[in-house]
Amino acid sequence: MQETPRTLLYSYVIANGMARGRIMTEDLPPAQVFNIITTDRNALLAILAFRDKPTRRRLRKAGQKVEDFIGAVEQPTQPLSPALSGAILLPPPPTSGFMR
């Protein structure tokens, strides 16, 4: 399929939802989360560059950045080391009298 501005945005939105789902449901190591966030940001910046100065070259570059983002989202989960496994990003459980 030929890439268009609409397919570019659609692909980015879908990839963004996939990333959110993985981060919310899987116990990903911090490096993998960072990679997803970084490739997301790079894709968004490339899309904004295309929006500001729309050229075929920028459209292709933005499409490649979105593909990179999808690749980062679909990367198999790397196992956490035992020291990092568990609810590392969750707040501590409430203590008695905490929310009065």
The per-residue pLDDT for 95 is 61
Percent of the chain with pLDDT over 70: 78
**pTM of this prediction?**
0.75
Distance CA 16, CA 47 (A): 13
Task: Evaluate whether 66 touches 8 at the Cβ level (below 8 Å).
Answer: yes
Residue 36 has pLDDT above 60, yes or no: yes
Q: What is the arithmetic mean of pLDDT over 56-66?
A: 97
Summary mean pLDDT of the chain: 86
> Domains of the chain: which residue ranges?
5-74
Q: Convert the pLDDT of each residue in 14-24 to its tens digit.
A: 999 999 999 99
Decide: helix, strand or coil at residue 86.
coil
